[in-house]
Structure 1
């Protein structure tokens, strides 16, 4: 960029800075990870400081902090919903595996998500991949394709409930 307006744009971007709580919380997590992996030896303090600072700086450059603030209450609701769906779906999968009279109707279901491609959609796909009976198998800009053990189950409705709960819990923009 050239000219005074170009320099001003670059300077505004560079000096915008990162919220201190975002850097501090990431550094705290990296310090905890260091302590779990390497222990708490006094001789390792200089290496720990360098490693935590480098990891924090790198993470802030690769994944910029967002404006969203997670809601603890919504996270608890999401956890309970996830556990409920896991137990119910796990029992259903086990019942279908053990009882040959119960039909399996495997196939693909397209779920129209409101999440754009990127970290948010990846978190949703990861969360839903942990539920028994459904596995994300691709998609495009507007939908995620899921392989299901039984396409006649209310898969789309359950995925919609999970998406709403996830957005409420983590992306309170």
Structure 2
């Protein structure tokens, strides 16, 4: 198990996490007086555990880029879902499913894992496996679509969020 951070660093890095976990607790359980103490203790425990399991990288997350991605996601997902449905129900449209090799520039990290999880939420594409250190195999519903270009654009957005603008 990794060594704990020094107290000032733990407080500086853990406080935003604890506040985020507490906000999540309030969203899920409401603001009832009886649950606030349990929520606060749960948030502190979750923040401490996240510091132990997901050590800070030293680079702050770009909040503006994250907000843009979060706001853009529902619309993109809806449009992609409608396109998948249209293709599924239209007998004249042929699908060519298969695996697309997509070069990746994100290093092996929780950031890359988060990008793969985000990518799996997009209809019509599903990350399958890393073929090698720099190539992600993505299952796509239609090989005629520019899947690799879309994955590259999404990865660039994620790199900006992670504070790694050059990928």
1:97/1:172 CA distance change after superposition, 3 Å: same
- Distance in 2 separating the partners of 1:82 and 1:73: 14
> Aligned to 1:70, what secondary structure does the other structure show?
coil
Q: Is 1:156 the counterpart of 2:148 in the alignment?
A: yes
Aligned positions, number: 160
- Asked which structure has the greater RCO (Cα within 8 Å, sep 6+), the reply is 1
Following superposition, the deviation at residue 44 of structure 1 comes to 6.2
Encode CA deviations 1:78-117: one digit per residue, 9 max, x unaligned: 3455445434422321221121111110100011111122
**Structure 2 length normalisation: TM-score?**
0.78
Higher CA-based Rg: 1
Higher mean displacement: 128-137 or 74-83: 74-83
> 5+ residue gaps in structure 1?
1-9
Structure 2: 5+ residue stretches without partners: none
The answer on 1:69 being equivalent to 2:60 is yes
CA distance change for structure 1 residues 161 and 65 in 2, over 3 Å: closer, same or farther?
Answer: same
> Is 1:166 equivalent to 2:145 in the alignment?
no
Q: Residue 107 of structure 1 aligns with which residue?
A: 98
TM-score, with structure 1 as normaliser: 0.76
- Residue 109 and residue 40 in structure 1: after superposition, are their counterparts in 2 closer, same or farther (change >3 A)? same
Q: CA RMSD in A?
A: 2.8
- Identify the match of residue 92 of structure 1 among 83, 97, 103: 83
C-alpha distance 74-15 of structure 1, shift in aligned 2 (>3 A): closer
Render the CA deviation track for 1:112-131: whole Å, top value 9, x for unaligned. 11112231111111111111
Cα 1:98/1:66, change in 2 over 3 Å: same
